[in-house]
Amino acid sequence: MRVVYTSRHRQHDADTEVQFGVPGPLYEVPARIESIRAALDADGGFELVDPVEHGVEPIHAVHEPAMVRFLETAWSEWLRENGAPEMIPDTILHPALREGMGSLGEPRPVLARLGYWTWETMTPIVAGTYEAARWAADTALTTVDLVLGGESVAYGLCRPPGHHAPRAAFGGYCYFNNAAIAAEELTRRTHEPVAILDVDYHHGNGTQQIFYSRGDVLYASLHGDPDRAYPYFAGFADETGAGDGEGANLNIPLPEGCEDAAYLNEIDRALDRIAEHGGSVIVVSLGFDTYVRDPICDLALTTAAYHEVGRRVAALGRRLVILQEGGYYVPHLGENARQWLRGVEERSPQLSRSG
Ligand SMILES: [Zn+2]
């Protein structure tokens, strides 16, 4: 299996986030991706390839260009106006603040613009954030290239992750929505419907928002119930899409402590829905923060479950664009990823090479 990887993800290396109301070390660290790369290297069955630059157009296809511009220039403006070691907002544009007063254009001070384009305090910007986020999008797009070029499955080691970023905001460790950029590119190039399966612990609120009114892109997600889990404001079972997208959004919220057997039943529900949706390619938002030892999440999956989920996803017989999202128990992250991908290959050995 080909794996798209670049060491440039390390340019995004922040020290501090404010999570659960407490400042502390960031969980979303470069060692995450390096641990996966090391496990795949040691396996010997995976071939690393560099991402190819695709320019900003595929990003503009799903994101507000003014937000992309902000992320591009934010750090240099921050250095001129502020100079604190990381960009974390102190003021965020809550919709009630201007209720009944009309919308507000992008403000001028960089600190105000930061609170205009994000909604939370866990997604700092540092010197290399924009570069790394661009390369993460290029990693996703190169994974699409491989699959449309004849590979039946390819894996993009995206970092920073993407699924929390909606069209016109960033947050949840995510700046550009790599899976949405990949899905949009697939619809444009294949003229087919596309399904996105999101198995990260957290609901992919950004991906859902981007495609909520579209019937050609199915979004199906299993995640910690937003009644208790980030991102709190989206991911409920009754969010089924709007307009042309009605019925093309499937949320499966999971209870605290959910174990392998119950999880696999729910995966089958999502896969049944995906099987009904047309198209020949599935985008997988792959997260391992569902793991029993994850430090910030509360499900209880074991490594064996990842192998089985990989098998079941491959059993659909569709081509797979697999993109890395979250997962924060770094010591076992590599093995969990390796088992997921080995599960894919075991179920469909012919998928490991072009076909
Ligand atoms: Zn997550």
- pLDDT tens track for 280-313: 999 999 999 999 999 999 999 999 999 999 999 9
Query: What is the predicted pLDDT for the residue at 82?
Result: 84
139: Cβ contacts below 8 Å, ≥ 6 apart: 4, 5, 6, 51, 156, 157, 158, 178, 323
Scored b (16 or more CB within 10 A) or e, 28-60 reads bbeebbbbbbebbeeeeebeebebeebebebbe
Confidence of residue 20 (pLDDT cuts 50, 70, 90): confident
Q: In the predicted model, what is the mean pLDDT of residues 16-44?
A: 95
- Tokens linked to 170: 């960033």
* Residue 109 to residues 80, 101, 279, 325, Cα–Cα distance (Å): 11, 21, 45, 31
117: Cβ contacts below 8 Å, ≥ 6 apart: 67, 70, 71, 168, 169, 170
- Percentage of the chain surpassing pLDDT 70? 98
Is 164 marked active-site?
A: yes
Which stretches of the chain are assigned E, i.e. beta strand? 2-4, 16-19, 22-25, 47-49, 153-156, 194-198, 217-224, 249-254, 281-286, 319-324
- Which DSSP helix (H) or strand (E) runs through 129? helix 129-148
Residues with C-beta atoms within 5 A of ion ligand 1 = 200-202, 287, 289, 326
> What is the tens place of the pLDDT at every residue in 215-262?
999 999 999 999 999 999 999 999 999 999 999 999 999 999 999 999
Distance between alpha carbon 189 and the CA centroid of its chain, in Å? 21
CATH superfamily of 2-12+30-51+139-352: Histone deacetylase domain (3.40.800.20)
Pick from 316, 268, 255, 263: nearest CA to 287? 263
Q: How close is the Cα of 325 to the center of ligand 1, in Å? A: 7
CA-to-CA distance for 197 and 284, rounded, in angstroms?
Answer: 5
Contact status, residue 138 vs residue 53, Cβ threshold 8 Å:
yes
Neighbour tally for 77: CB within 10 Å: 16
Q: How close is the Cα of 234 to the center of ligand 1, in Å? A: 14
- Across the chain, mean pLDDT equals 96
Q: How close is the Cα of 315 to the center of ligand 1, in Å? A: 25
Q: How close is the Cα of 46 to the center of ligand 1, in Å? A: 24
Amino acid type, 78 = W
Give the three-state DSSP class for 336: helix
Q: How close is the Cα of 172 to the center of ligand 1, in Å? A: 8
State the pairing for strand pair 47-49/281-286.
unpaired
Q: How close is the Cα of 82 to the center of ligand 1, in Å? A: 30
Contact status, residue 125 vs residue 79, Cβ threshold 8 Å:
no
Pick from 54, 72, 76, 52: nearest CA to 64? 72
Q: How close is the Cα of 296 to the center of ligand 1, in Å? A: 9
Contact status, residue 314 vs residue 344, Cβ threshold 8 Å:
yes
CA-to-CA distance for 203 and 163, rounded, in angstroms?
Answer: 8
pTM, two decimal places:
0.97
Rounded to 5°, the CA angle 93-285-252 comes to: 80
Catalytic: which of 9, 163, 164, 332? 164
Alpha helices in 165-257 (DSSP H): 178-190, 205-211
CA-to-CA distance for 175 and 126, rounded, in angstroms?
Answer: 12
Contact status, residue 163 vs residue 123, Cβ threshold 8 Å:
no
> What is the tens place of the pLDDT at every residue in 87-110?
999 999 999 999 999 989 999 999
Query: What is the predicted pLDDT for the residue at 83?
Result: 81
Q: How close is the Cα of 229 to the center of ligand 1, in Å? A: 10
